[in-house]
Structure 1
Amino acid sequence: MRVQIKKGQAVISGDLYDRPVSGKKPDPAEGIPIFPLDDYRFYIRTNETPPATIESELKFELFLWEFKRTSPNPSDFKWVKTGPYTARLSLDRPPQGEDFPAAPEAPLYLSGSVTDANKQPTGKLTMGWVEEHLRRARLKIARVILTEGGGTQKSEVPWNNGLNDTLATWQTVFNEVGWNIKLPAPGEITEFRQEGVGEEWDAGELHKKLLDLRSENETKTDWCYHLLCVPKIVGNYGLMFDDVNTDFQFNELPREAAAVSSHIEYPDTPKWGTARGKRCGEALIPYFRTALHEIGHAMGLLHDHQNNARRIMTETTVLDEDSAAEPGKTVPERILFSFTEADAKRLRHMPDIWVRPGGMPFDEASFPYSDAPISAGDGLVEADALRLEVFPLLKEVPFGAPVRINYRLANTSCAKINLPGDLSLKSGCVRGKVTGPDQVERGFRSIFKCMDPLDSHGAPGGCLAPGKSALDSMTLLRGRGGALFPSQGDYVVAIEVSWRDREGKRTGCVGKTSVKITPASRADTARKLCADPRTLIAVAIRGDHFKDSIKPGLDDPELRPHYVLTEAKRLARRFFGRAAELEQACELLLDNPVMSSAEIDWIAKAIEDSDTNARQNPIVLELCRRLKEKLRSVSDDVDDAVRERVLKLPG
């Protein structure tokens, strides 16, 4: 039970776990107990705040919300509400042998009956004061040792904000919301070398390292969050990984780990003040805020979309853009090291299963705050001036192959419209559902949660001029509930592109298209690809540790064209000690693979970013020539910016 004293009232919430009758009882002297995740059963919600002083009795009404998993998939659950019940507790003596600490002068122990709506006894409730905090957790930190120019550097650990006058630390920040956060001592920081990664870490490499750092069953038995400090994360100041995939037998990291970039530089502009042009690790104020922000996501908090937001869950790009937030002050001066009142309430009183690592998956789209028995949510406000066109790259796709969908956001008004800088699936602005011949709706969204991007003005997106449009594409295979296209037949794909405006309202538009899944020549191979959760990771993240998952698709003549691009993307990017193999990647792509506009853009960027010798390789030049020929023969399914990039390639 959690009891918060606020303005003379007691705000009460709690969680119940199964515990064997013959098992060891929690020891009050050890502080807040931590029970196994799999034993979670009920959330206790009270509908009233009784007086904080106890005279004759403490009386309050409560509801029990039973948490029921409906499958091993952590996304499949439901809350079952029962009640109301009435608890009447009075001061009592603790049972013999149970030594409760003083609170703060003498032990405080309450016991009494619980009755149902008909005033019939249903049980007994006892509470004993344990400590002043409402929750406890620990943070594990690991950092990279980087050898550069003959010297050795280490990614800085964001211990605090570096301000002696107004020092903010992990414990001072979380004390305000009733959390006892235990940090490792400086000598307990895990350190490891880059191992050929270079300065930039992509999602696949981070995911593999985070899996290496986690001890077996840690998530299920402890409240432990991981923070990984690396030199650079591709395109991000920091990110928190969600469950990446939903099948527990493969990945058990829902909301457990986050990463921050220490060597990316902040913008070299006056509004960045003391952080101007500095590496993140050298600018402690925004660097520490990013670490808090990403761990906040790991605790189940979504972005703060309030106008002029300045607190921990605000995105860095919003702090950069929002001149109305403390006008005249620089970005570091605007930052407040505290949570909003609403987020503070969530950290104090949300169900354990929502905030503890390994509990409910993190997803603003699928699991808004309104899904928890504590607060209300909001709906989508459709933008009249925007039109979303959705169409498949191929109208027919064989069973077992990923389905590529194009979508174009068009400005139909006479004025420019400001959009998020990134409208790709990974941005979190795009989600959707697939409805098959069985009429079952299967949802999908990005597997990346949650990123703190460097720039919000990249194309497509940003400022959309009148009459102009932004094209992007996605590759779909699996969602939270498994395969999105689990059998042959006709499917409808619905997409929503949405974002928060300055008032915090979710704005956007929706569109849909259809695609036909045809029978596979080798049905067993197709079913294996759809059933393997690693296939999604290979398609979305890449990484050598996932390469075997798509091998059945590469070995199948019918499915191979649909998976070649995934294998080429893996080869074209270095992975730990393996160097990028651009020639081999381009050779694969000479075999006429299925490629969306976004995928063509990716391989064009890989060629563009390679060294001169690699770009002049005959195989690379031949691919460049074929890409140019391809773009000259197509129009609607390739973005103008992609076309321009490809036409500038050598060859």
Structure 2
Amino acid sequence: MPVLPEEFLIDDADPADDMPRFERATSNVNLSAAAASATRFPVAVAQPWRLRSLKHGAYFLQWQPKSSPFTRYNGTMRIERHGTATTASGDLYSHNAFTFTSWPSFRLVPNPDPSPSAGIPIFSRSRYKYYLRVTQILQWLTLSNSFTLQFERYAFDSTTNNWTNDGLHSAVMTFKSAPAGYPSGATYLEGTLMSPANVDLGTIRMGWVSDYLRKATIEIDRVSQSDYPAGNGAGETWSTVFDAVDWDVNVYQSDTNLTEPSGESWSDAEMHSAMLARRDSANLDSEWRYHLLCVRRLDSTSRGIMYDAYGGDSNNIPREGAGISSHWVIPSTSQWGTVQGMQFGDATGPYFRTAVHELGHALGLYHNTADNGFMNTTGTIAASPGTFPANIQWSFNAADAKRLRHMPDPWVRPGMIPFGSAYGSAPISDEDALDLNGPLGLRVEPLLDSVPIGAPVRVKVTLTNHSDSPIEVPDSLSLKSEHVSGRIVDPAATVRSFRSIMKCIEEHQHEVLKPGASISSDMTLLRGRDGALFPAPGLHKIIVDVSWEMNGMAVRVSGEDSVMVTHVEDEAHAVAAKAALTEPDLLLTLAIGGDHLEEGNRALDKAMDSPVLSPHFAVLKAKQVGRRFGKRKGNAAEAMKVLGDAPVISSSEARRIAELAKGADKAALKKSCSKALASTLKTAANGDRMVAALADSVG
């Protein structure tokens, strides 16, 4: 623990308090030398300060909307403390504050919330509403009575299994005494939830209920000839495995004499049918229950399978069950080390490892070959360096452990999102992606070192393969590719995110980037979900992330640079900047254009009226003029005239201008284009033959 400043001294006046208190010591106390030497602690003259932190574990979370007293949202917040850092995430389910009693009274009575004393609450799957991706929270210790909580709120569509980011919400959370019903010494906080537009959304409360982050039950049934996978025989058990990822898991053996329906080998459908017939409970709205079936042999694979997916899921409730084979015979080859030739159930460690592996699939995890952890395959581990099974890693890979702690409830709890969805389809912290910085480099280069306030910022991103091997990467770094996102950090350290508002219909393609090769693209940044990205003067950091999937794994590479935003220069600039910063439709005008975006087009016209901003918006206006819309024909010559002499233009934008001019009357184009513009286009061409040809023809 870091050494505390000398002016803070421990006050032991309240030994029952589980948090130490600190007092600020005075420097003006007049003590004799003898008294000073005999005094253990200086005399304090200030009020005691309490050192506070967030306790690791699950918190009962509640949001009471200001606009709806009849509906509130209950859920859990998961606080993971690791060292001096904290990672947090949460889920919310709708809850009717009142309910009607049954016939004949039909009275409206309060609908009670879950009792905090019962530990981690479980909610009905059909009432799931939001995932909270926490972006700011108290990391370690504070002497304050409050801290700022920020999170992106993702709304879940259970029909499509899609998520919508509702923006960055925040609350100043204040430590308070826990109400009755909470465990003794529970950490409890309240605050006012504010929307991305800084509107009061009501009260948010969170109180600690468990040392664990999640809880579940695993029922294990088996045929009489199959072994029960209790552990690895060397200290690792179900409890130690799941304690390590903060899951409170109750694992028990139920039936031990299942009847084999068609001999010793089971089909996926037979296992699913046995689960439905023999399991002890089936209410997934009151319990997260998974089922493991141990049989002699499997039809579809050798060692194990999470059968409750695709065609094997006869009741359309995914990821409830898995099965393992006890009578598979391990090959008698050297790669299988000390267990070669053994019946699988007799190889205690590998057999237990496979049971955990298949349950991992039921929890929404995929194969992970990054290490020899649980989600790697047994065959791959056996073929890796070291002697099998001593080379097994008895833990989940760090990325998988984080997924178990912080993926949205619908991803990990049974009966919700089906198996097979890409990790990237769910909101998840950036740290969940495999970081490829090093083998790959992402260079972020603003076109200009400084821009006037209200102007868009043009950025070039270049992805380079620095490794000695080819790497599969996205074939486009455009914001329209869905692979690119990022954040802007302003001078006040406020973070605003951006990503494409458009989705290409065609499937995104990858390409193999050879060693030393690069791909580049340009982007124009103006607004994001949180509003204007550059709303104030000062130095802004631009962070760009490129994310994609490679061999079933989420991967990511990041880069950053900075740009200076300068102050307002005159009244016309002030009017234009205000319109550019406050009009949401200007982003749509930038991205897709169109005469129908009246408010966005008015803001664009105001920007064009400002001599300061017009060079920065000229390309956007030129594209609007040069494109056909409805019955209005595009006018390439007029578009060239709109550009003026020295527009701020990226290479990609110059290419689009050249495409607009293709097929237009050359004489009209030349008449509309100054020599200065031709020179600007030639500079922006950057090797593009079409742009260079246009510059030559009009120069």
Give TM-score, length-normalised by structure 2. Answer: 0.48
Counterpart in the other structure of 2:380: 318
Q: Please say if 1:253 is aligned against 2:321.
A: no
Counterpart in the other structure of 1:156: 227
CA, structure 1 residues 144+199, in 2 after alignment: closer, same or farther (shift >3 Å)?
same
Counterpart in the other structure of 1:347: 404
Over residues 350-406 of structure 1, what are the superposed CA-to-partner deviations in whole Å (9 max), with x where a residue is unaligned?
Answer: 00010000110110xx43344333347699xxxxxxxxxxxxxxxxxxxxxxxxxxx
The partner residue of 1:362 within 411, 419, 424 is 419
Q: CA deviation at 1:115?
A: 1.4
The partner residue of 1:115 within 176, 184, 194 is 194
Q: Please say if 1:374 is aligned against 2:456.
A: no
Contact 1:305/1:504 (8 A) holds in 2:
no
Contact 1:219/1:256 (8 A) holds in 2:
no
The partner residue of 1:192 within 238, 255, 258 is 258
Q: CA deviation at 1:274?
A: 3.0
Counterpart in the other structure of 2:250: 182
Counterpart in the other structure of 2:3: none
Larger radius of gyration: 2
Amino acid of the residue matched to residue 340 of structure 1? Answer: N
Q: CA deviation at 1:330?
A: 1.6
Superposed, 1:266-285 pairs within 5 Å as: 266-285=330-349
Q: Quote the sequence identity (%).
A: 36
Contact 1:84/1:117 (8 A) holds in 2:
yes
Amino acid of the residue matched to residue 101 of structure 1? Answer: P
Q: CA deviation at 1:269?
A: 2.1
In 1: Cα distance, 2:239 partner to 2:287 partner: 19
Amino acid of the residue matched to residue 341 of structure 1? Answer: A
SS in 1 for 2:202: strand
Contact 1:305/1:500 (8 A) holds in 2:
no
Q: CA deviation at 1:220?
A: 3.7
Contact 1:159/1:169 (8 A) holds in 2:
yes
The partner residue of 1:127 within 192, 195, 206 is 206
CA, structure 1 residues 505+276, in 2 after alignment: closer, same or farther (shift >3 Å)?
farther
Q: CA deviation at 1:204?
A: 2.8
Q: Please say if 1:32 is aligned against 2:120.
A: yes
Amino acid of the residue matched to residue 158 of structure 1? Answer: P
Q: CA deviation at 1:47?
A: 1.4
The partner residue of 1:62 within 151, 154, 175 is 151
Superposed, 1:551-566 pairs within 5 Å as: none
Superposed, 1:67-106 pairs within 5 Å as: 67-70=156-159, 76-95=160-179, 98-102=180-184, 106=185
Counterpart in the other structure of 1:2: 78
In 2: Cα distance, 1:207 partner to 1:85 partner: 42
- Greater RCO, CA 8 A, separation 6+: 1
In 1: Cα distance, 2:112 partner to 2:312 partner: 32
The partner residue of 1:236 within 302, 305, 308 is 302
SS in 1 for 2:257: strand
Q: Please say if 1:48 is aligned against 2:132.
A: no
Counterpart in the other structure of 2:494: none
Amino acid of the residue matched to residue 381 of structure 2? Answer: L
Over residues 140-188 of structure 1, what are the superposed CA-to-partner deviations in whole Å (9 max), with x where a residue is unaligned?
Answer: 110012xxxxxxxx2111010011xxx111111111111000012x5x3
In 2: Cα distance, 1:140 partner to 1:253 partner: 17
CA, structure 1 residues 246+49, in 2 after alignment: closer, same or farther (shift >3 Å)?
farther
Runs of 5+ unmatched residues, structure 1: 71-75, 146-153, 324-328, 380-439, 443-497, 507-651
Q: CA deviation at 1:343?
A: 0.6
Contact 1:219/1:252 (8 A) holds in 2:
no
Amino acid of the residue matched to residue 356 of structure 2? Answer: L
Contact 2:154/2:427 (8 A) holds in 1:
no
CA, structure 1 residues 378+312, in 2 after alignment: closer, same or farther (shift >3 Å)?
closer
Amino acid of the residue matched to residue 89 of structure 2? Answer: S
In 1: Cα distance, 2:427 partner to 2:163 partner: 8
Counterpart in the other structure of 1:20: 96
Amino acid of the residue matched to residue 86 of structure 1? Answer: S
Q: Please say if 1:294 is aligned against 2:365.
A: no
Contact 1:160/1:288 (8 A) holds in 2:
yes
In 2: Cα distance, 1:32 partner to 1:26 partner: 9
Amino acid of the residue matched to residue 79 of structure 1? Answer: W
Amino acid of the residue matched to residue 124 of structure 1? Answer: T
Superposed, 1:540-555 pairs within 5 Å as: none
Q: CA deviation at 1:504?
A: 9.3
SS in 1 for 2:210: coil
CA, structure 1 residues 292+216, in 2 after alignment: closer, same or farther (shift >3 Å)?
closer
Counterpart in the other structure of 1:613: none
Contact 1:65/1:80 (8 A) holds in 2:
yes
SS in 1 for 2:152: strand
Q: CA deviation at 1:17?
A: 0.7
CA, structure 1 residues 504+8, in 2 after alignment: closer, same or farther (shift >3 Å)?
closer
Amino acid of the residue matched to residue 265 of structure 2? Answer: E
Q: CA deviation at 1:232?
A: 0.7
Contact 1:242/1:361 (8 A) holds in 2:
no
The runs of 4+ residues in structure 1 deviating greater than 6 Å are 376-379, 503-506
Counterpart in the other structure of 1:144: 223
Amino acid of the residue matched to residue 276 of structure 2? Answer: L
Contact 2:132/2:152 (8 A) holds in 1:
yes
In 2: Cα distance, 1:368 partner to 1:276 partner: 35
SS in 2 for 1:47: strand
Contact 2:92/2:129 (8 A) holds in 1:
yes
In 1: Cα distance, 2:360 partner to 2:316 partner: 19
Q: CA deviation at 1:499?
A: 8.7
Over residues 431-467 of structure 1, what are the superposed CA-to-partner deviations in whole Å (9 max), with x where a residue is unaligned?
Answer: xxxxxxxxx999xxxxxxxxxxxxxxxxxxxxxxxxx
In 1: Cα distance, 2:298 partner to 2:311 partner: 20
CA, structure 1 residues 14+218, in 2 after alignment: closer, same or farther (shift >3 Å)?
same
Runs of 5+ unmatched residues, structure 2: 1-76, 99-110, 436-504, 508-548, 557-699
Superposed, 1:197-212 pairs within 5 Å as: 197-212=262-277
The partner residue of 1:338 within 395, 412, 423 is 395
In 2: Cα distance, 1:345 partner to 1:377 partner: 11
CA, structure 1 residues 301+125, in 2 after alignment: closer, same or farther (shift >3 Å)?
same
Counterpart in the other structure of 1:417: none
CA, structure 1 residues 500+441, in 2 after alignment: closer, same or farther (shift >3 Å)?
closer
The partner residue of 1:225 within 290, 306, 324 is 290
In 1: Cα distance, 2:312 partner to 2:149 partner: 38
Q: CA deviation at 1:245?
A: 4.5
Contact 2:122/2:285 (8 A) holds in 1:
no
Q: CA deviation at 1:340?
A: 0.9
Counterpart in the other structure of 1:631: none
Over residues 544-591 of structure 1, what are the superposed CA-to-partner deviations in whole Å (9 max), with x where a residue is unaligned?
Answer: xxxxxxxxxxxxxxxxxxxxxxxxxxxxxxxxxxxxxxxxxxxxxxxx
SS in 2 for 1:107: coil
Number of aligned pairs? 357
Q: CA deviation at 1:345?
A: 0.7
Over residues 96-130 of structure 1, what are the superposed CA-to-partner deviations in whole Å (9 max), with x where a residue is unaligned?
Answer: xx32113xxx2221111111234332121111110
CA, structure 1 residues 218+244, in 2 after alignment: closer, same or farther (shift >3 Å)?
farther
